[in-house]
Amino acid sequence: MIRLLRKLFALPFIWLGQLAVMLQQPGPAIPLLRMAWRISGEGRIGLTALVQVFRVYGREASSAEARQWMQKHPRTEVAAWAGLLALDSKRLEDARQMLDRGLQLGRDREGMLDMLQLRVMLVEGDTDRLRQFCRDMEARRDATPQVSKTILSFLAMDALEGGRFDEARRRASFLLQVEDSAAAHVVLWALATRDGREDVAARHLRRASACDRLECLSQQAVAADAIGDTEQSRRCLAELHETRPEFAEGMEERLARRREQQA
Amino acid sequence: MRIDLETAKLFLPALVVGITVHEFAHAWTASLLGDNLARRQGRVSLNPLRHLSPLGTLVILFLPFGWGRPVPVNLYNFRRPKWDYLLSSLAGPAANILTAALILPLTYLTRHTLAFGLAGEARMVLVHNIVVSAFLLNLLLATLNLLPIPPLDGSKIWPVLIPRLKTALEGRMTLVFLIGVFALLSTGALNRVFDAVITPALRLLPATDGVVFNGHLARWQREFQAGRYEQARQSIDAALAVCPDSAHALYGRAETLAELGQWEPALADIDRAIELNDFEPDYLTLRARILEALARPDEAAADRKRAELLRGPGE
């Protein structure tokens, strides 16, 4: 009853705040949503406010406010947001702490915690755990589109790396049924290259590059390595080094880990 | 912009029903087809609070329509993304059409607005009008949502059926289209589309007791004035069958019976009419005439005197 009353009192602030967000006016949106969050205590509202703080004042301000809120009124969405911002700032330990706190509080409806867990696992690079997590998420079928796309792309590439080519083709084709995806095209490029179908491979590579050039390069580095074309993999990494060194480093780490696991 | 509480009173329950079943159908169908995202967010529910958008509900104060919170759908969770998305998008308008079909019998049940006499008529009319509004609004919601304008369902349905049509948009463009939909609705530009659905739907609706009664009464008046008293009697009998407590209809039948020379039954009717409304001088004058015909001059004189008093010196 008290929760409902709080929500009712917060409604005008939520409406006005969300209206301001819709009209791309973060200035008035922030105080209104902060007020709505204080009254209602709803993590979803807190998250909307924190996103606006991020837009106007940047990552550090939003992160500081999220951590402050977590001390007073811990909510899963706020923990997930704080964790994601920590990851962006390369503070993996903070992100892990926020993930643990979020998992204690329970999964959120918006799927923010799933995203944090996925990203933490991607950074940690434990492929077996990540594969299991992705398969569990896939079986649950309740992830958000963003999380689904990431886990399905990972599973497609993982199947390619594991030599499960039929699975890789099926997963990549499925991804493309929903929307164009650089990762899916790169997987199909690798499979077509492996089968010697150069024209199909070239078409997929063109489309992958058109989707997202950086994503294409980084995925191509992994995919080329998976089909034994280490020279192509090196070329992609070199190109990636020139444009986005941090991406290239991440990919090199991933490839090194895989080689270690294979060894 | 004017706040229209009368319209809101009629349309709010209809809107709550329409939006709830619409959004529930999207969520339930998506869940059946393998996408549990809406279920996770608590949207596979017939609880209106899970679906109503505060702004979309408040707008009913200004315009005779509203909207709910869109149900989140994740195409990656479907087995056949394109077709399952089509089915889950179609489910909302289909649910509105089904709801309208289920509400239609209720309009027949509530048409007897005089079932509780004249005293309860206003309340019964309100109930009937709410039911009729729910019927029409569900049809309107289905029609509106089938239009290929983002963010309406039609923008997701038609591109699947017509591959070259690309209307589903994201972000700011959706807001632009939303304002466009508002403008189309507010200016009545879509009225021709709605009329194509509403006009045949109106033919399915029953006439209420009030409408039937007034129809019989109008026919009685025409026939009485034309001197066709037998036909006039049939019409007024039909009117009284719908509303036996109408003083005006009882007066009409007494008048008709008097013209037919049936004085005793005429007296019974006018007595009942005066019992229901004893401040009507015309009723007293008619009774005086009937009493005179029945050779009861003293009572007739008393009625005439009272009628004159009620009319006042000027009349």
Quickly state the pLDDT bin for A247 (edges 50, 70, 90).
Answer: confident
Q: Is residue B170 predicted with pLDDT exceeding 60?
A: no
The pTM of this model reads 0.81
pLDDT of residue B2: 55
Residue A153 and residue A76 share a domain? no
Structure-block tokens of residue A54: 């991020």
Contact A215, A182 (CB under 8 A): yes
CA-based nearest residue in chain B for residue A4: B49
Q: Would you tell me which residues 31-60 of chain A have a C-beta closer than 8 angstroms to some C-beta of chain B?
A: none
Per the model's pLDDT, the better-predicted residue between A34 and B36 turns out to be B36
Verify whether the Cβ–Cβ distance A142 to B76 is below 8 Å: no
Q: Which domain holds residue A175?
A: 125-263
Sequential DSSP letters for B54-67: HHHHHGGGTSS---
Per the model's pLDDT, the better-predicted residue between A43 and B60 turns out to be A43
Residue A252 and residue A141 share a domain? yes
> What's the pLDDT tens digit per position in B214-248?
999 999 999 999 999 999 999 999 999 999 989 99
CA-based nearest residue in chain B for residue A172: B76
The residue among A101, A123, A145 that closes a domain is A123
Question: Nearest-CA distance from B82 to chain A in Å?
Answer: 7
Contact A105, A116 (CB under 8 A): no
Residue A80 and residue A10 share a domain? no
Residue A53 and residue A29 share a domain? yes
CB pairs < 8 Å spanning A and B: 49
Q: Is residue B169 predicted with pLDDT exceeding 60?
A: no
Quickly state the pLDDT bin for B179 (edges 50, 70, 90).
Answer: confident
Residue A166 and residue A70 share a domain? no
> Would you say how long chain A is, in residues?
263
pLDDT of residue B235: 96
How far separated are the first and last CA of chain A, in Å rounded? 60
Contacts of B32 (CB under 8 A, 6+ apart): none
The residue among A93, A123, A153 that closes a domain is A123
Residue A185 and residue A106 share a domain? no
Check if the interface score ipTM surpasses 0.85. yes
Residue A147 and residue A28 share a domain? no
Residue A10 and residue A114 share a domain? no
Structure-block tokens of residue A119: 């990203």
pLDDT of residue A255: 83
Residue A205 and residue A160 share a domain? yes
Residue A239 and residue A200 share a domain? yes
Q: How many structural domains compose chain A? A: 3
Residue A216 and residue A148 share a domain? yes
Verify whether the Cβ–Cβ distance A109 to B40 is below 8 Å: yes
Residue A141 and residue A102 share a domain? no
Residue from B6, B23, B275, B315 carrying the catalytic annotation = B23
Active site residue B299: no
Quickly state the pLDDT bin for B290 (edges 50, 70, 90).
Answer: very high
Q: Is residue A41 predicted with pLDDT exceeding 50?
A: yes
Considering only CB atoms, B75 lies closest to which of A22, A111, A178, namely A178
> What's the pLDDT tens digit per position in B44-61?
999 998 898 877 777 777
Quickly state the pLDDT bin for B167 (edges 50, 70, 90).
Answer: very low
> What's the pLDDT tens digit per position in B17-37?
999 999 999 999 999 999 999
The residue among A77, A101, A123 that closes a domain is A123
Q: Which of B168, B152, B150 is nearest to B160 (CA)?
A: B168
Per the model's pLDDT, the better-predicted residue between A258 and B19 turns out to be B19
Give the range among A93-97, A137-141, A259-263 with minimum mean pLDDT. A259-263
Q: Quick one: average pLDDT of A208-212?
A: 93
